[in-house]
Structure 1
Amino acid sequence: MESILQRLNYKNLCLMSLILSFSYQAEAATESECIEKQVANSAAEVTLGEIRTICKAQHSLEEDGSVIIRGKKVKAGLLTKRNIEERQNDTSEFVLTPHRMNYILPVYSTNQMNPEAYRTLNSLGDGYKKVESKFQLSLKLPLSYSSLFVEGDRIYAGFTLEAWWQVYAKEISSPFRETNYRPEIFYVAPLDWHPNDANTTVTVGFEHQSNGRAGSWSRSWNRVYTEFIYEQGNLVWGVRPWYRLPEDAKTDPTSPNGDDNPDITDYMGHVEYSIGYAFGKYELSAEMRQNFSTNKGSVKLNLTTPLYGKLKGYFTIFNGYGESLIDYNHSQTRFGIGVALNNLF
């Protein structure tokens, strides 16, 4: 009997060793395939060490949905899963990484156009319709690939373009009513703080926003900001305060030098709150800006739904000030329906 048990134990040990060997070989082969793929698709400047870091992040997501962050096993939420997927391809020359939402709204209505902003445009402003189209293109590019100060941190450059198109105003040749440009550079770092099995992240950045116009229609501002993000499963919320960098006052309203909109923070506020929740393939999110001293700000609700392939149905409602830079001091309610390429979170 003892001899039989010894033989069985020996066979079990051999079988376990064989399984572990196959598992190790499969993992090594998968990592090797990842490195080979990254070498083939990455830019020449990307180092082998950076590629190994990317492949390590790619295989860090466990079957139970957990991930190893700074040596700790934590549950991966919406943003963590998105970051892992992004880092699998962000060295490729043939992949563009979304930053904010990318979408087109063929129907985007307002309850009231801004008469003050277009008073000097003669008859052009009178021809604007309350229903127009809007689209947004937002991309980011990593400026670092390996950790700098803490594990998993990175520096990014981002660019967001928003355009309001009077496509239905045939009488005035369907012009673009407003275009906003938003370049920025920012640093992202995961925090070693996981309350209630949640993940936390901090971002610090600088951004410029302008509508690219001249004279009395010019609008722009520069700001530095920080953002704290908390994610737990399908829930994400964040708070983003900023400080507007001061500019010299204009000596002449028509001068290209000086502050185009010195009171912009009275309407756009000093902080933005955001929250999002994913119900399966549906995502509901809200963004709110606020200036507590002037009691002015805005709120925006977004809903994305499955549509076709990578395309998502997109519904949005906006109320308040600052829907665009030309309308920073104009309050309105807007509703849009269209198609999005990615979610907010």
Structure 2
Amino acid sequence: MWGRLVVALVLCSNLAEAQQVESEKRNTTKSDVNACLLVAVMNARPEQTVGELIENCGKVKTNRVKKRQALEAEAASNPFAILPHKPNFILPLTLTSIRREPYKDVAVGPKLDNLEAKFQVSLKYLAWQDFVFNDLDLLFAFTSTSWWQSYNDDISAPFRETNYEPEMLLNYRHSWSFLGLPVEQAYVSFNHQSNGQTGLLSRSWNRIIGGLVFAQTDNVTWGFRTWYRIPEDEKLDPSSPEGDDNPYIERYLGYGELGGLWNISDKHTLEFTLRNNLRSDNRGAVELGWSFPINGKLQGYLEYFNGYGESLIYFDQHTQRIGLGFKLTNWL
């Protein structure tokens, strides 16, 4: 008798747990659809009907990549819409050990502080949806990352380094399988990156980048990208504006990187980026991030970097940095 009672209680407990999980899934899906509808209504074209908006948003799945794709597609129907690309953040406080080698011929080099601010602005524009064939989109994007000596009044608080990264992307958003892994996005981009400097401080390169994004589960997203550097002519003189500013950058930044995102909950996210040059003189980099809630929209952000290539000026310099601040938009 007691054995049967225990079995019955366990079965009831399992059934209740299963019902709770199913209820949470339904609530999550409903929340996703409502979020999509809100964006869709605000950005609807005059000829669109309510039924069309509901039908489009009804296709939203709990997969976070799909959810962002649906929200972006609806928002992009507004011709004035510019969307987030990479994360947008500001770290008012970052602590590093400034490497002064690149600044040895610059007057302010010895006066640079180890305490500075870092921020990133990253935007994209969906220029052509279903370009050539269904689910292939043409986008233009721009990312600017700055390191600012904001507390260094002795040298008038200059921007020490800014990296500019315009790119053109072809993004294929149809789900498919690669070696048994669930691919949610595949993309190729033409990417230019430079620091806008001249002379001995000038750094730049052009790449063709290809990548895959995998949604392993609803809360775990990861991907990798690889690149081919477009060759440049060798500089005839180190101070010349023409020619390759950093001919050996691949020896430090390698030919690709791996990244991942773990949504612990809707409010806490862990992320990582790993890079390695895959050479005997091993040089790599790791970047770790933690996003946490502050209020309904604003997130706190803690970032740690260790390795080569945090910025173009340091492509061949090993640096460490830890920073604390705010994240305005996340990856997902």
> Using the alignment, how far apart are the partners of 1:296 and 1:125 within structure 2?
25
2: CA distance between counterparts of 1:250 and 1:201? 38
Q: In 2, are the aligned partners of 1:132 and 1:164 still within 8 Å (CA)?
A: yes
Q: Give yes or no for the alignment of 1:285 onto 2:271.
A: yes
Find the partner of 2:231 among 227, 246, 258.
246
Aligned to 2:207: 223
Contact 2:185–2:213 (CA under 8 A) maintained in structure 1? yes
Q: Report the counterpart of residue 66 of structure 2 in structure 1.
A: 80
Pair 1:120–1:60, CA change in 2 (3 A): same
Cα shift at 1:308: 1.7
Note the C-alpha offset of 1:289.
1.3
Please state if 1:168 is matched with 2:167: no
Which of these two proteins has the greater Rg computed from alpha carbons?
A: 1
**Aligned length, in residue pairs:** 292
**How high is the TM-score relative to the length of structure 1?**
0.78
CA contact (8 A) 2:66 2:184 kept: no
Give secondary structure in 2 for the equivalent of 1:149.
coil
2:141 to 158, 176, 182: 158
Q: Which residue of the partner structure matches residue 96 of structure 1?
A: 82
- After TM superposition, list the pairs within 5 Å mapping 1:325-344 onto structure 2: 325-344=312-331
For the 8 Å contact 1:166–1:177, the answer to whether it is kept is yes
Alignment-derived partner of residue 173 in structure 2: 190
TM-score (norm 2): 0.81
Residues 54 and 118 (structure 1 numbering): CA distance in 2 closer, same or farther, change over 3 Å? farther
Unaligned 5+ segments in structure 2 are 1-35
Match of residue 123 from structure 2: 139
**CA deviation vs aligned residue, 1:87-133 (integer Å, no higher than 9, x gap):** 221132454310001000000111x21221110002x0111110100
Alignment root-mean-square deviation, CA: 2.6
- Counterpart amino acid of residue 45 in structure 2: V
**Are 1:261 and 2:263 counterparts?**
no
Q: CA deviation at 1:248?
A: 0.2
Amino acid at match of 1:154: D
Are 1:236 and 2:221 matched, yes or no?
yes
CA distance in 2, matches of 1:256, 1:298: 29
CA distance in 2, matches of 1:320, 1:286: 13
List runs of 5+ in structure 1 lacking aligned partners.
1-29, 41-47, 67-75
Does the CA contact (< 8 Å) of 1:214 and 1:256 recur in 2?
A: yes
Matched with 2:44 is: 38
2:132 — aligned with what?
148
Contact 2:131 2:138 in 1 (8 A): no
Match of 2:283 in 1: 296
* Secondary structure, aligned partner of 1:148: coil
Sequence identity percentage: 36
Quote how far apart the aligned CAs of 1:169 are: 0.6
Mean CA deviation greater in 140-149 or 312-321: 140-149
CA distance in 1, matches of 2:277, 2:230: 17
Residue 200, structure 1, aligned to residue 184, structure 2:
yes
Structure-2 separation of matches of 1:311 and 1:222 = 34
- Structure 1 residue 229: Cα displacement: 1.1
Q: Check 1:166–1:38 CA distance in 2 against 1; reply closer, same or farther (3 A cut).
A: same
